[in-house]
Amino acid sequence: MRTKTVAYFLTFLFAMLSFTSSQLFAQGSNAYPEKPITIIVPYPPGGFNDTLGRIVGKKLADAWGVNVVIDNKPGAGTTIGSNFVARSSPDGYTILVAQFPFAANPYLYKSLPYDTLKAFSPVVLAGRSPMVLVVNSNSPIKTMSEFLALAKSKPGTVNYGSSGPGSSNHLAMVLFEMMAGVSLNQVPYKGSTPLLTDLAGGQVEVAFDAYPHVRPFLQSGKIRPVAIATEVRSPLMPDIPTVNESGVKGYEASSWHGFVVPSGTPKPVVDKLNKQINLILKQEDIRKIFNEQGVVPDGGTPAQFGVFIGKQMDIWKKVVTNAGVTAE
């Protein structure tokens, strides 16, 4: 059975998709787009979310012959950019690059200036970056069983690094603690780079982080992977066992990337965006960029993305609530 959040999100999604005036329905997919499109990236330039917005924006511009503007609106855990889109006209001309915080923020912040379930409509899940459990290259920990044994023998004393309370790598470890029945000690940093630099230097013992972040450190040999947090082994690291197969059954955590639009955007417009972005995600040059960035391309329907978001919200609501995590 679906959880309440998934059911709520699907009910809202289908209601949104069925709502449109006859004029919009007639014009929607044929006339759109007639003017420049703006893609809001709620992060500063650089990083995969910015790259995603720019490469998809360029492809949309080439396919439809309109300008696509990339507008970076970082800050407040992505809520500044998200709020801008939530308040934009529901016409398909303002699109948000949505990522992991999109599903976790409703529970991390005491109040948001928008209701995530009511303010947005899903377009497509673009890709996923698996979390990887990593240690210093000189660490005696080589397997998940060794890590679990250490954590259980020294409860609350094994140090793990995070990018701060409420970050994806922090919540991934909190979920791991809950499912593995262990207690660890968080050492927060201001981002993945200082965290992984200290891990490489031996200042912290272990960390979960997204594959794009750990990849250069793995390539340099400064850190070593223990397990990957995908449901099945990833094509990005086919020789690395999953956390699930290594002793923590059912564990999965990933950083994900997709596109949403303001609620009320007509169904023909949502469908046209979905169809075109799906085509873009299948292009070899795009798949190559994704692979180089450590992201597995995805795709699918708006309804499938809605289900995915609902499930993510349920997972992180439970984690945030049980652990008492806040971003403020």
CB atoms within 10 A of CB 88: 17
Residue matched to tokens 């996923």: 128
Q: Which CATH architecture has domain 129-228?
A: 3-Layer(aba) Sandwich (3.40)
Mean pLDDT of 39-65: 95
Query: pLDDT tens digit string along 146-195?
Result: 999 999 999 999 999 999 899 999 999 999 999 999 999 999 998 899 99
CATH number of 4-128+254-323: 3.40.190.150
Q: What's the rounded mean pLDDT across residues 62-78? A: 96
pLDDT value for 22: 39
Write down the pLDDT at residue 9.
Answer: 57
Taking the CA atoms of 286, 287, 289 and 295 in sequence, report the sign of the dihedral they define.
Answer: positive
**Owner of token pair 């109040």:** 111
Sorting pLDDT into bands at 50, 70 and 90, what band is 18? very low
Q: How do residues 88-131 score in pLDDT, each as one tens digit? A: 999 999 999 999 999 999 999 989 999 999 999 999 999 999 99
Structure tokens at 110: 């005491």
- Of 255, 199, 258, the C-alpha closest to 229 is 255
Centroid of chain to Cα 247: 25
Spatial separation of the C-alpha atoms in residues 193 and 170, rounded to whole Å = 14
| Average pLDDT for the chain | 91
User: First and final CA of the chain: distance in angstroms?
Assistant: 33
Domains in the chain: boundaries? 4-128+254-323, 129-228
pLDDT category at 1 given cuts 50, 70, 90 is very low
Instruction: Specify the residue for token string 């200042």.
Output: 203
Domain 4-128+254-323 and domain 129-228 have a common topology: yes
**pLDDT in the model for residue 323:** 87
Q: What pTM did the predictor assign?
A: 0.87
Give the integer Cα–Cα distance in Å for 73 and 40.
Answer: 7
Cα(16)–Cα(26) distance, integer angstroms = 17
